[in-house]
Amino acid sequence: MRKFKALIKLALIALVIILVFNHDAILKNMYPLQYEGYIITYSREYSVDPNLVAAVIKAESKFENKAVSHRGAYGLMQIMPDTADWIASQSGMGEITYDALYDPETNIKMGCWYLNNLSTEFEGDLDLMLAAYNGGRGNVQKWLKDDNYSKDGENLHAIPFKETKNYVEKVNKNYNMYKKIYDLK
């Protein structure tokens, strides 16, 4: 029995040592970063924190550029076709095909433009931006006017869509981790 306990202690010590020396590698595996060049380029062009862009991509597609949601959103940043058409017309990007949403550069460029647009609309309030990205800007505007969700018309104290509430929490967590691990500029 003593040998068994000693083996368990030794295994735990070895595990702690492995975790301590591989902490960064483990975190980078849990919070991967792909397409860094596009993220940096377009986050700068549209004045969006690149750590936020990476956090949104992780939440939306886990960096799978061919991802398609059950609602029909495409690519890394899971952009809906109607939203893509609107972004293309508003931003001057010109017409795009829905297949172009699978292209990492196009998708990240559109996603960064959209995050900047939401930042302007919601005066930089991250939670409102993320709620609008996931649940729709029109819904967020309605919630801000509803006493059940906003006491002051400027902040949400409750988000009625469970998916959107969870999304805001997930992206905020991802955002903090990407800042901690990579601190992209």
Q: Which of 45, 60, 123, 163 is catalytic?
A: 60
Buried b (16+ CB within 10 A) or exposed e, 32-58: ebbbeebbbbbbeebebbbbbbbbbbb
Q: Is position 169 annotated as part of the catalytic site?
A: no
The span from the CA of 126 to the CA of 181, in Å, is 20
Contact 168, 139 (CB under 8 A): no
184: left (phi over 0), alpha (psi -120 to 50) or beta: beta
Catalytic residues: 60
